[in-house]
Structure 1
Amino acid sequence: MSYDSSATRARLLTAAYDEFVRVGFAGARVDRIATAASANKQAIYAYFGSKEALFDAVLADRLRVLADVVPFTPDDLAAYSGALFDALTADPGLQRLTQWKMLERPEASDQEREAHLSKAAAVAERYGVGVPVAMDAMMIALAAAQSWNMTASVIRDPLAGDPGKRIAGHRAAIVAAVAAATTALLEGPGADGRE
């Protein structure tokens, strides 16, 4: 029987994702991850170097999947925010993972900074505004899409009515709010040349 290192790495990423979603970075244990992946602890260090690097790899892997599911659309940040909301609603584990990241490791990685800057540059080019203004607009769209978790307990509360209607209403409010805010930032009076 031959050894497949890519399969071991994939199992480690899946097991680590489950562990980080469940207990966060601080609560995660490499021995539990290794056991769940049918690997040994040394494999984690061999493939990733550290628990921190494993967390970064899991986050990068899941954000890559999200980017494939929801391509970035600089022309319509409101629609992008709605599509992100849909994807995060369908995958609450990813939502939870990003919240653990913000709580426990709030500093942006080089990869995150580069991704945000490249998206902001695309928005800036599309609307003819400075990158800082475009970054503000993009962050509004991202934050609004992630607001799902803030209302999840209310949306799922059986006394709050039909959860499907609540989710649809919340999504519609997000899209409308992002459209209004980003239009004001990117197309409103004074948007030309704003830095």
Structure 2
Amino acid sequence: MQVAVADAAVVDAYGDVVGAQVAALDRDSLQASSAGAVPFDAEDLAAWAVAMFDENLRRPDLARLMGWIRLEQRRTGLLFDSLDLQPKLAAVAAAQAAGRVRAGDPADLLALVVAMASAWSPTSGAYAATADEPAADHDRRRTMLRESVQRAVTPQDEPTTTTAAPYCANPYNAP
């Protein structure tokens, strides 16, 4: 997503070129292209997460731009003022009432699923995948994502408790 910035005064007003690009974009269009690109299904949050993973591979520019907006423009709260999560929250609540999605605050469940779907996005703190990587890598990630989200949102018959693993200074080189 390239937006030409011809006037240095515009860049100065926003602090950098990316800020000027965001200002030049219609935020509603950005929101629609990011949130509307993946059909939401509260009955299958795992498939929704995988679709978001695929969208991040297809449009890494949007993921990076939304990450920048989060870091520089909207550090807390909703990413966009006009973002209406009510239909999604209501759908999750309905799936919860029907016993198909675990109990919990629907907004927290959505945040968790979005975060999981973004694990390999351009804004990942661990590893940013690209569409140029082998298909087998993406298939492995999709499978892990689908299974992990499914486990996270599936209702449990009995409450479970987890025991935290011992602290490891470098979790990537844990014994």
CA gap of 1:89–1:76, structure 2 versus 1, over 3 A, is same
Specify the code of the residue in structure 2 equivalent to 1:147.
A
Distance in 1 of aligned mates of 2:2 and 2:103: 36
* Corresponding residue number in structure 2 for 1:82: 50
Give the gaps of 5 or more residues in structure 1. Answer: 1-12, 17-24, 34-49
User: In the alignment, does 2:88 pair up with 1:116?
Assistant: no
* 1:147-162 pair list within 5 angstroms: 147-149=119-121, 150=124, 151-152=127-128, 155=129
C-alpha change, 1:26 and 1:74, in structure 2 (3 Å) is: farther
Name the structure, 1 or 2, with higher relative contact order (CA <8 Å, separation 6+): 2
Asked if 1:146 is matched to 2:118, the reply is: yes
**How far 1:127 moved relative to its partner?**
1.7
1:180 pairs with 2:151: yes
Aligned to 1:27: 16
1:1-195 residue pairs with structure 2 within 5 A?
15=3, 26-28=15-17, 51=23, 54=24, 57-58=26-27, 60-104=28-72, 105-107=74-76, 108=78, 109-112=80-83, 115-128=84-97, 133-149=105-121, 150=124, 151-152=127-128, 155=129, 163-183=134-154, 187-189=155-157
C-alpha displacement at 1:63, in angstroms?
2.8
Partner letter of residue 145 of structure 1? A
Aligned length: 139
State the SS of the aligned residue for 1:76: helix
Query: Between Structure 1 and Structure 2, which shows a larger proportion of helix residues?
Result: 1
Task: Give the unaligned 5+ runs of structure 2.
Answer: 5-13, 160-175
- Structure 2: distance between partners of 1:26 and 1:177: 40
Identity %: 27
Contact 2:102 2:153 in 1 (8 A): no
CA–CA distance in structure 2, aligned partners of residues 73 and 131 of structure 1: 17
Q: Which amino acid aligns with 1:136?
A: D
